[in-house]
Amino acid sequence: MEISNITVNKSGKIDLKSDPQGAGFFGTIGSLPGEDDNILMSKGQVTVTGLNLKNVDVRNTSTEVKHETGLLDGLLGGATWLLGFLLDLLGIDSVSDLADMLLNGMDANPSMFAAGSFAGSVAGQVEITNCSVENAKVQNAADRTGGFIGDIQGKTLYTLQGPGRLVEVLADILNMLPFLGLGNVVDVLLNGGILKLNQIVPAGYVAPVIKDCTLTNVAQDTLGSETTGFNGGFAGRIEGGILQNIK
């Protein structure tokens, strides 16, 4: 499939209820968290293949997350009663405290602002094969900028330790929050102070695979700046990813 003449212009603070994370034809490509008590595992592989893009112009000036009062109430709707159980189980005083902890965790996740012509961020159990971009321009006010992908991350899988009710309720709530995927759920929960390291146990690892993909004619003068980090011709940053036969 070929798609041409694509413009992505992202600005302002990211609204977690509606804005995609990352900037590119795909903002983020990532596997979903598992279900039930496997919320910190992968639900399965995400595959993108045979997609050819031409004349792609991506510009991101977003560098902050919008901190909105009532974030959880708006997303959980009639299921807000679950929050009472979760707050007791985690020892958190109020819904607003929990929302602040989630938002602080998101603030500490720089891949949210990654930019690339094909995808801003790729994380977890993902395979991208036989895809190409021809004629690309990528501008980003934040870190992690690449001609094809801004940020590529493998992810450790975990099991959650704690009372069965904690695992069940946390899974129910996380599955209702569209801004949490396998690529950021553990980072957000830990960075926000919602979970502690002694509550999770490593259970495996998944690495994105980018194979037989081509990037042709990317504007070099706009890929990053002196004030940003992790800027690259094909990918801005790679941690635990696998690249094969990239041209």
Q: Is 179 left (phi over 0), alpha (psi -120 to 50) or beta?
A: alpha
Amino acid, res. 200:
I
Pairing of strands 209-211, 126-129: parallel
Q: State the pTM of this model.
A: 0.87
With tokens 């804005």, the residue in question is 19
Per-residue pLDDT 10s for the chain (247 aa) are 999 999 999 999 888 777 778 999 999 999 888 776 677 888 899 999 999 999 999 999 999 888 776 666 665 555 556 667 677 777 888 777 877 887 777 776 788 899 999 999 999 999 999 999 999 999 999 999 999 999 999 999 998 877 666 777 777 777 667 667 766 778 888 888 888 888 889 999 999 999 999 999 999 888 888 899 999 999 999 999 999 999 9
Q: How far is CA 197 from CA 33, 185, 187, 188, 227, in A?
A: 18, 14, 11, 12, 33
